[in-house]
Chains A and B, each alone.
Chain A
Amino acid sequence: MTVYPVAPQVPGGLNFGQPVIDTDIHCAVPSPRALFPYLTDQWREYITTSAFKGPNDTPYPGGAATSALAGTKPEDGPPGSSLKLIQEQVLDAWNVEIGILNPSYSVDSISAPDTAAAMAAAVNDWLINDWLAKDSRLRATMVIPTRVPEMAAAEIDRVGDHPGIVQVMLPAVAQSPYGQRRWWPVFEAIERHNLVASLQFGGASGFPMTPAGWPSHYVEEYVDMAALFQSHLLSIISEGVLDKFPALRLSMIESGWSWLPGFFWRFDKVWKGLRRETPWVRELPSEYIKDRMRFSLQPLDLPDDPVIVQQIFEQLDSDSLLMFSTDYPHWHFDTPEGALPVGLTDAQRSRILYDNAASFYGFGRYAR
């Protein structure tokens, strides 16, 4: 008999005795109509007559145990669509000072450019009006019509200065590796508005998401997403994006991070042998990553072994890279204590819970 593990009840949260920044809370558009206030008559009419239900490509299968903890689904919408539940189950439960919303709405899967631009703008206005305006603890990741970078840059110019918008969503499964020049207008706009470029799990570019084509199973796709993040880091560093845009910072959301040490070793070594191909890359790739990138904590992808946890921190050669995340409403841990790796030092814990994210995004006492 096949065993389908069932997601447990959403953990109650913990009071860590200090403020917390949650860098990965997924909010969901409850229905196409929720965006109607932010669409023109033309789009309302077209969506209605074509019965367009919004992008139906989701990186998170609705029935998969990892997609939603029990108790996260409001009566009238998908998990993550209720501000009230997010307030209760995340912001209050975890003593969150600032929580970043990452909307799970696949604008990037929409192939028609004007439709994608209209829906991206509607989602961003919905984030601003239906979420940011209603709880001062919230910040948001804006979405963009990724397939036409110039249109994406225009959308960043339109809403990028809103104080609640802190970063720009770049889904991992993309049209091309994110270092490539087609994306530079997007990075230019992100830098212009002092935002963060945020690579996030998922994406629906229409292309296969592994180097050998389309995998059969969701569990493979889930595992393979880490390799795809590695491909983007190779691209971003090798193309010289971080030299071209010296103020650009990037967050990797739901990427995993226990793969970083092995990736550092490999990339640094090959760079030593091949660096004359990309002479604009002037220091070890791992140094660029440690200087300019941060990673959300979940999923941990680590054993519950304090020795191994400390080995990984030693190999990372940094306590600054990780930013606390619940990844609400996804299931990664069963008890509140499971939200953190085992055996952290007090300093590591405190940095992960607050300082790393606050200094990266310029929150609280780190405001710039």
Chain B
Amino acid sequence: MAVALAQSSTDRRKTKYPVIDGDIHPTLTSPRALDKYFLDDEWRTYHQTIGGRGFTGTSVPRTYPNAARVDSYPPNGRPSGSDLDFMRMQLLDAWDFEYGILQPLLGAASMRNQEYGAALSSAINEWQIAEWLEPEDRLRSGLAIPYENGPLSVKEIERRGSYPGFVQLLMAMRTSEPLGRPKYWPIYEAAEAMGIPLGIHVGGQGGVPITGSGQPSYYIEDHTGQSTAFQTQVASFIFEGIFERFPKLKIVLIEGGFGWAPSLCWRMDAAWSKLRGEVPKLRRKPSEYFAEHFWLTTQPMEEPPVPHQFVQMLEQAPWLQKKLMFATDYPHWDFDAPDQCLPDTELPAGFEEALMCGNARALYGLEPREKAAVAVAAG
């Protein structure tokens, strides 16, 4: 093992700090790989016969199959992201990750049959435990929940939420209603009671187009548009008074970028200063709720054309320094490498360490590990 680690590391400039990767996508080895994890035969049969039925009408060639990096297909012929050993070699060992947080994007909550979505969520969670979390101590994950149905979500949280490898609830950002709306409150109540953050990843399907004016034509619009959708979800959480109702709730926004954070705060504060009578639940400026309750993963990293503008952004929203968490988005095409993702400019003291590991350790309660640098030193 040490030898393999050293070999895979020799072609990489090592990172200065331990790395926690907030966004890794494990995939199924085959479409039938979940069958054995269904908790009962009835839903297993449904899964094998009818299967997933989500929201349709958004087919477009998406440039890269399964959004995968071309070098991410394991030599054994399995799908990109489906082989733990290859993931260790290409990712976890290559940069000597301290931890990696999985985000299986299997769409359980986007099922129109919500009871099937709940059964699928349970199967996904059992699969995660058996095939990823038990075999690999560095991995953590999110608990899949059928989040369009509050009571069924709470049931799954009660069933499996206390498994120690689950460090957040797994949600996607494209929902049927804005996420501050009351239908989602049972989830927030349960999350707050357990002290577990919500991890909201880009994508998903809620049956609503990704623009406020219907479905766009191209993948680039959908991909870039995810950050517009995040902005409206943040506004919904804040203006619905979610953080007055659930003051300990913590939310991680995954893969939505963060260059929009300063201007969204300015706009929310300006609007609230004049319209706050409509939302009397709020007792503080919207930007203060944002700064306190939201964390954001870094991939896709913001890349201003002039690197020091990245620092300007941090000056405009200083709280970002405590809230940004590194992520790779492995094995997707827009992968960020930990030794290459930061702008080439002088960053605030302590920021890089906070981003690479400190903020994630604090949020998820992850114990620092001795940096397994033996092999690197040997290499």
Contacts and interface: CB of A to CB of B under 8 A. Distances in A.
Given A212-B236, A261-B304, A66 B274 contact: yes
Contact of A5 (B257, B267, B273): B273
Which one of A174, A175, A223, A228 has the greatest number of beta carbons of chain B within 10 Å? Answer: A223
B262 interface: yes
Interface string B338-364: 000000000000000000000000000
Which one of B213, B239, B270, B271 has the greatest number of beta carbons of chain A within 10 Å? Answer: B213
Contact of B276 (A3, A203, A210, A299): A3
Interface string B273-305: 111111110000000000000000000101111
B15 interface: no
A176 interface: yes
B275 A65 contact: yes
A207 B259 contact: no
B257 A258 contact: no
A252 to B, nearest CB: 14
Contact of A266 (B208, B217, B302): B302
A95 interface: no
A303 B269 CA distance: 10
Contacts of B220: 234, 238, 270-271, 274-275, 277-278
A135 interface: no
Interface stretch (B4-12, B169-177, B188-196): B169-177
Nearest to B179: A212
Contacts of B107: none
B211 A220 contact: no
A212 B259 contact: no
Interface stretch (A307-315, A318-326, A342-350): A307-315
A211 B275 contact: no
A300 interface: yes
B209 A207 contact: yes
B316 interface: yes
A223 B271 contact: yes
B131 interface: no
A211 B225 contact: yes
Q: How many A residues touch the partner, as a band?
A: 35 or more
B211 A3 contact: no
Interface in B302-351: 302-306, 309, 312-313, 315-316, 333-334
Interface in A175-192: 175-180
A239 B312 CA distance: 32
B217 A210 contact: no
B208 A208 contact: yes
A265 to B, nearest CB: 5
Contacts of B274: 5, 7, 65-66, 331
Given A213-B206, A217-B278, A308-B316, A224 B304 contact: no
Interface string A256-284: 10110111011111110111111000000
Contacts of A315: 304, 309, 312
Contacts of A217: 239-240, 278-279
A176 B215 CA distance: 7
A235 B222 CA distance: 10
Interface string B227-270: 11101110110011000000000000000010111111011101
Contacts of B135: none
A66 B275 contact: yes
Contact of A224 (B212, B259, B300, B313): B212
Contacts of A66: 271, 274-275
Contact of B228 (A4, A211, A218, A238): A211
Q: How many B residues touch the partner, as a band?
A: 35 or more
B272 interface: yes
A64 B275 contact: yes
A172 B233 CA distance: 19
B277 A211 contact: no
Contacts of B236: 210, 212, 215-216, 220
Nearest to A234: B221
Contacts of A2: 277, 280
A316 B197 CA distance: 35
Contacts of A275: 220
A227 B214 contact: no
A231 interface: yes
B229 A212 contact: yes
Contact of A227 (B63, B212, B215, B261): B212
Given A224-B232, A259-B263, A277 B219 contact: yes
B94 interface: no
A301 B213 contact: no
A208 B232 CA distance: 12
A174 B306 CA distance: 35
Contact of B217 (A239, A271, A274): A239
A230 interface: yes
A270 B228 contact: no
A14 to B, nearest CB: 21
A297 B233 CA distance: 26
B29 interface: no
Contacts of B223: 270, 274
B53 interface: no
B205 to A, nearest CB: 11
Contact of B224 (A65, A174, A219, A234): A234
B208 A238 contact: no
Given A175-B213, A212-B229, A270-B224, A222 B279 contact: no
Contacts of B180: 216
- Top 4 nearest A-B pairs (CB, nearest first) are A4-B277, A262-B259, A231-B211, A211-B229
Given A3-B277, A314-B312, 16 more contacts: A66-B275, A207-B214, A210-B178, A210-B229, A212-B229, A218-B275, A235-B211, A258-B262, A258-B267, A261-B263, A261-B309, A266-B260, A269-B302, A270-B224, A308-B315, A332-B270
24 contacts: A203-B213, A205-B213, A211-B209, A211-B211, A211-B229, A212-B176, A212-B206, A213-B175, A215-B235, A216-B178, A216-B240, A220-B232, A223-B271, A224-B212, A226-B264, A234-B211, A259-B260, A262-B261, A274-B223, A277-B63, A278-B220, A301-B263, A301-B267, A331-B274
